[in-house]
Structure 1
């Protein structure tokens, strides 16, 4: 759950998503040093070229500039294993010419530096260091060479060399783990495509507990608190599987972290704020688990459609509340959501839920993306009927899992399955600034 509206954040607006290239797999070898915040990375990036012309591949990686102690400095770049100097690294962009004959190719990049953002390196009160990725919306580029866009979904593998005594948790499954005199090696790999915003690496001297081994491994990781704190995730996961579909990822790790958000829904590896262990986190856990289906598997094409992620997660979180705590608790949550929407409307009367464009995705972390999105789905359910609504939600997920969608995709799918013209309803809630009617 990401609530940072009005908080000043450094934002880099360059997105490079080209239909000329299809990323196949990203592999990162990451070396961490307990005595320094400098990291060393070797990135091997596999691509398929979709055009038959010479093209420039543009990757994101924040450059180290003179007189700066942060940023990444490239020490070597290879094209298909052959060293080349034919590239340009400027600000947060690497431009590499790719000849017409290269249908499939790999880019190897060696670089080092201190991340200014994206990988949060900190020290706990007990003097143990922690390393946590924190990528949303486009902050992977601070330490991972990549196409840093929600439209670029790709398999990812992390090979992390961590100081001795530290554990590493990441997306996918743990393929290998080895311990040596001075360091430990962890190899995590996904068998599914995800965008950079939900790629994750967490490194700390964790306490860990396995809550269940099968059918999906569910576990908790903490460095300061009760390792059993996230155990509710097992029954919440079962509720979502019964309501939507089978779980889309290889495991579910619940991790106390240094994320700036209340929770960050990384695919199969949810990061919760450090203070989450101090209070009841059941609704937060439900929200982040909901994202595994909507946000991670089915992903918005653009942050202007963030409600397809956050609105769905808020709606499903409230549905879980209704089924487990009763209708009174649900109605209370919906009325609180309504109040948030109204307050936001009077503060920003011209804002709409799905703007045509947005310069800073952080501005979308507002009550329209979350609470208004949830209220719209509640209203849509009343409009077409509960049974048909849930049938459509399940079929929509199956149709678009591991793909990207926008609001028109959702509208067209619902209209096709319901055989109704829902244009007035979608227009009122998504594209008009006036307040819609709220009917419980």
Structure 2
């Protein structure tokens, strides 16, 4: 048969080429970058520069149609390109403009390009797929009463879109979200185009981040939402996303954000991103989450009347503090999680102390009494035990919250408040928009203290038992028989009823 169509000839030749390449390669396998807690998370061989995600939402009963475009740079020669992706159906894939063979291996989507990718050259991947929000309770899409939101921490972004799903590989994001008439879509960052609304027709909303972001911090909200705008310190744009029916009821809480930002800036420096706001969703998640520039909260935290005002505010400050600690300065490995949660808990506790409701010293003393139990159950703060199979959220234990804030309290006791404040400011300034780990923090603290702090900090970070607390020889690590009266732990990933 004579092939008269150039396009048909090209398609058949590409398919034949892919078949030949696949025939000489070993079977695909899931890869990872060797994270101690998530060994198959992330993928070697390339550095993602940007994601461009197009999502078309119909309703909560239907998978979203999606196109993910990844621009990256190859770090080595690649005969295959592994992406983290599951919970969706792939229709087609391209690598550098040519069709690529695609297969699944574990939770990886493995692409075999028509031609191997050469080291130190641009790499563009296009995947057309679905993104399924139905019937999942292991992260990714969160179903709300009127739509969807995202909760990707720790390893759930690849349940939404193909990606290099490890915080060590931060990238810029563009979101293009098409939703039915009457619904609003919001994502991280700033609007990149004005949505065009036509009566009864779907609307596409576009957003773009101005700073790199870890995949676990991506956020997309779809719903019957109101989007109030405001201004924070130094003219910072504020944008909140709330159920439209609850806007008036939630307004007093939204008005607290400028003061919270000013309070944090007094302690650690300027807010690190292009905007900020709170996303309040009608959903029961059991946690709050610091998605970059747009922190996710359950509506019940504000509307149920179950918590005192000071407690709710301290939770808001916890998630805000993450914008510096965890979002701008992102952990290099998941074992460095204590740097996120310890710092957010520290500023949450410091804020509550400033309100005169729950003193910092009392909270740290109570944490000290439980620290040995927490270390036995979850491992030391900087070397936590892996979560049980099927319970990835189990990584977020008390030892990485109050147990890690306790390390910061001990450090301040050891080097003094002035040196400690310098450590905090330099940490977020020197590592802004990048990743950092425990060793980096120890080096910086040592530099500010004028002496090697590794002998002091190592037992706090890695010890099976809790070291003596400087300045408090009377403190005991023996837990009392009954828990003292006090607030529930103001943390996000642990269910509040736990």
What is the TM-score when the length of structure 2 is the normalising length?
0.77
Q: 1:118 touches 1:141 (CA, 8 Å); kept in 2?
A: no
Structure 2 distance, partners of 1:354, 1:363, is 16
Q: TM-score, normalised by structure 1?
A: 0.87
* Residues 310, 121 of structure 1: alpha-carbon distance in 2 compared, 3 angstrom cutoff: closer
List structure 1 runs of 4+ shifted beyond 4 angstroms. none
Are 1:303 and 1:364, in contact at CA under 8 Å, matched by a contact in 2?
no
1:233-290 per-residue CA deviation (whole Å, 9 max, x = no partner) reads: 1101111122112111111120112372421000001000231222432011000000
The 10-residue stretch of structure 1 (94-103 or 276-285) with the greater mean CA deviation from structure 2: 94-103
Answer yes or no: is the 8 Å Cα contact 1:349–1:433 preserved in 2.
Answer: no
User: What secondary structure, in the 3-state scheme, does the structure 1 residue paired with 2:277 have?
Assistant: strand
2:171 to 140, 154, 157: 154
Task: Determine the structure 2 residue equivalent to 1:138.
Answer: 155
Q: Does 1:185 align with 2:209?
A: no
- Point out the more displaced range, 170-179 or 29-38: 29-38
Structure 1 residues 296, 73: CA separation in 2 closer, same or farther (over 3 Å shift)? same
Within 5 Å, give how 1:322-361 maps onto structure 2: 322=353, 324-326=354-356, 329-341=359-371, 343-345=373-375, 348=376, 351-355=379-383, 358=386
1:303 CA drift (Å):
1.6
Find the aligned partners of 2:42 and 2:276 in 1 and give their Cα distance: 30
Residues 177-228 of structure 1: CA distance to partner in whole angstroms, max 9, x if unpaired? 2212321211010011111111111111013322426611123322263231
Deviations 1:124-177 (A, max 9, x none): 2xxxx3111110100111121101111110101110001111111211101122
Shift in CA distance, 160/350, structure 1 to aligned 2, threshold 3 Å: closer
> 2: CA distance between counterparts of 1:171 and 1:134?
13
Does residue 1:387 correspond to 2:407, yes or no?
A: no
In 1, Cα distance between equivalents of 2:284 and 2:93: 31
Structure 1 residues 340 and 173, CA, compared in 2 at 3 Å: closer, same or farther? farther
Instruction: Report the 3-state secondary structure (helix = DSSP H, G, I; strand = E; otherwise coil) of the residue aligned with 1:311.
Output: helix
> Quick one: structure 1 residues 399 and 101, their matched pair in 2 at CA, closer, same or farther if it must change by over 3 Å?
closer
In 1, are the aligned partners of 2:174 and 2:206 still within 8 Å (CA)? Answer: yes
Please name the residue that 2:215 is paired with: 196
Moved more, 91-100 or 400-409: 91-100
Provide Cα deviations, 1:87-113, integer angstroms capped at 9, x if missing partner: 322342112244227700211110125
1:111 to 122, 129, 141: 129
- Gap runs ≥5 in structure 2: 1-36, 473-498
2:242 aligns with 222
Q: Contact 1:118 / 1:143 at 8 angstroms: preserved in 2?
A: no
Match of 1:16 among 42, 51, 58: 42
1:225-236 to structure 2, matched below 5 A, reads 225=246, 226-228=249-251, 229-236=253-260
- CA contact under 8 A between 2:280 and 2:296: conserved in structure 1? yes
Q: Which has the higher contact order (CA 8 A, sep 6+)?
A: 1
Alignment match, 1:268: 293
SS of the residue corresponding to residue 239 of structure 1 reads helix
**Equivalent residue, structure 2, for 1:93:** 108
Q: Residue 340 of structure 2: SS of its match in structure 1?
A: helix
> How many residues are aligned here?
412
Separation (CA, whole Å) in 1 of partners of 2:345 and 2:321: 8
The RMSD of aligned alpha carbons is: 2.4
